[in-house]
């Protein structure tokens, strides 16, 4: 019996991969706050040095998660990936990448709907993979590649991952309402996390109360970031949050039914 055929080992391996990716992302985002970043005034391009390493490590971890769950000999026992499930992940990744290219009002796009719903139905690992890989593919097909990309991948992956940890009410309406509420929260959370990749590097004369500088206390840093977020990001993130909620309320129920139909057919869940 292979390692991935053992459900306990596979679950532990999935958890280890998600933990490693999360630690990698958190470390990279928070490291500038413990050093002496030099303000560039240009969206924190200092991350151009370490972002490629974070990107490569994240891609390796995603491939490792796929490999850890790929075991055709264990498919009959359920909760495993096989070639059909890989195909489903690939199709959903491509669909989500295309959804990101379709603009909505206030800069909204529907890129988080599938990671939220698929993470909820198929599990945290699938949600993380779908969120991360679809952001990567969308960047490759035109959304833009830069030092921000690995942090977008991580943030979208976290949205899908946390979706897999949500409770599963027995009532369909309660499910949809819960996921819509999570769509609002995740829309705001994505923007709040993404700002951290460049915020500690920014400096603007006369606006010091918006930016971080070495030596600030944690409380003062949080106050400044709250002001910065409210002034620069809240409107756009609110549009994303509202769009997530509206689409989940409108289409979440039927999509959950469809996703569960595929789940029963392929017999898998990636915890």
What are the sequence ranges of the domains in the chain? 3-266
pLDDT of residue 35: 72
Q: Are 270 and 122 in contact (CB under 8 A)?
A: yes
Measured distance CA(54)–CA(182) in Å, rounded: 27
Q: Are 212 and 225 in contact (CB under 8 A)?
A: yes
pTM for the full predicted model: 0.88
Measured distance CA(15)–CA(134) in Å, rounded: 21
Residues counted in the chain: 271
Q: What is the mean pLDDT of each run of 10 residues along the chain (271 residues)?
A: 59 88 91 69 60 91 83 44 77 92 81 96 93 94 83 95 94 95 96 91 78 87 93 92 96 94 72 59
Burial class for 100, CB neighbours closer than 10 Å (0-12, 13-18, 19+):
buried
Residue in 221, 270, 268 with CA at minimum distance from that of residue 77:
268
CATH of 3-266, one of 1.10.1760.20, 3.40.47.10, 3.40.50.1980, 3.20.20.10: 1.10.1760.20
């Amino acid at each position: 019996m292979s390692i991935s055929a053992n459900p306990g080992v596979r679950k532990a391996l999935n958890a280890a991969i998600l933990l490693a990716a999360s630690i990698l992302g958190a470390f990279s985002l928070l490291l500038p706050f413990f050093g002496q970043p030099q303000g560039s005034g240009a969206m924190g391009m200092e991350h151009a040095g370490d972002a490629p390493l974070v990107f490569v490590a994240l891609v390796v971890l995603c491939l490792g998660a796929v490999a850890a769950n790929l075991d055709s000999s264990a498919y009959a026992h359920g909760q495993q990936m096989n070639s059909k499930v890989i195909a489903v992940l690939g199709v959903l990744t491509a669909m989500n990448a295309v959804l990101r290219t379709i603009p909505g009002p206030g800069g909204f796009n529907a890129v988080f709907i599938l990671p939220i719903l698929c993470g909820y139905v198929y599990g945290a690992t699938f949600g993380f993979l779908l969120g991360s890989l679809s952001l990567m593919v969308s960047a490759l097909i035109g959304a833009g590649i830069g030092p921000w990309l690995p942090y977008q991948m991580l943030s979208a992956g976290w949205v899908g991952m946390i979706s897999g940890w949500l409770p599963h009410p027995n009532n369909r309406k309660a499910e949809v309402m819960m996921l819509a509420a999570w769509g609002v929260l995740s829309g705001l959370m994505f923007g709040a996390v993404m700002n951290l990749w460049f915020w500690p590097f920014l400096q603007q004369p006369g606006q010091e109360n918006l930016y971080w500088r070495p030596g600030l206390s944690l409380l003062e840093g949080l106050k400044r970031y709250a002001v910065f977020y409210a002034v620069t990001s809240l409107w756009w993130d609110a549009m994303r949050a509202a769009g997530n909620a509206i689409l989940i309320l409108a289409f979440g129920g039927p999509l959950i039914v469809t996703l569960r139909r595929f789940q029963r057919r392929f017999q898998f869940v990636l915890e």
